[in-house]
Homo-oligomer: A and B are copies of this chain.
């Protein structure tokens, strides 16, 4: 991957196709929040991503209700079912499954989504913070990923040109 290749792409042209992504990422820890913001900024700039029509789970609160303001929702089966179904809809209706992945803070929710995305035939891209790239990741995540890139490459990565590669790091 040579970022030079993408320079001219950073000026989107009328006909350049763009892809929608399901934006899988945690928002529970400082590290996750930092990576979330970096990844979001990058996809805003990436001309091969249709940011406006991509599915960001946090933008799809069931009935506009926020869990932090309504903790009782967490015991409500209607809310849970609708939120789960919404995430499944986001995964299946997006072109690409983009997963912000922090080796030290792996999240079972991303795990389930990775498994679903694999079975739905989605192109699965892991984005790993530069400082964490190369650290061991879970074997099952490793196995379902089509490629794993560094955060600093996300802005110029060409999502129209799928390319398989192994993660260049260990598994555990």
Q: Size class of A's contact patch?
A: 35 or more
Apart from A53-B160, A82-B164, what are 4 other A-B pairs with CB-CB below 8 Å? A86-B163, A92-B123, A112-B138, A115-B118
A53-74 CB contacts (< 8 Å) to partner B: 53, 55, 60, 62, 74
CA distance A97 to B168 in the complex (A): 30
CB distance from A89 to the nearest CB of B (A): 5
Max count, chain B CB within 10 A of own CB: residue among A115, A165, A170: A115
CA distance A109 to B136 in the complex (A): 13
Neighbouring B residues of A144 by C-beta, 8 Å: 112, 116
Binary interface encoding of chain A residues 72-116 relative to chain B, with 1 for a CB under 8 A from any of its CBs, else 0: 001101101111111111101100000000000011111111111
Question: Is the Cβ of B162 less than 8 Å from the Cβ of A55?
Answer: yes
Please give the residue numbers on chain A whose beta carbons come within 8 Å of chain B beta carbons, in ascending order. Answer: 14-15, 17-18, 50, 52-53, 55, 60, 62, 74-75, 77-78, 80-90, 92-93, 106-123, 136, 138-144, 146, 160-166, 170-172
CA distance A162 to B87 in the complex (A): 10
CB distance from A106 to the nearest CB of B (A): 4
Question: Quick one: closest B residue to A91, CB to CB?
Answer: B121
Neighbouring B residues of A143 by C-beta, 8 Å: 80-81, 84-85, 87-88, 112
Answer whether A162 and B115 are a contact pair too, CB < 8 Å, given A106-B108, A108-B110, A108-B140: no
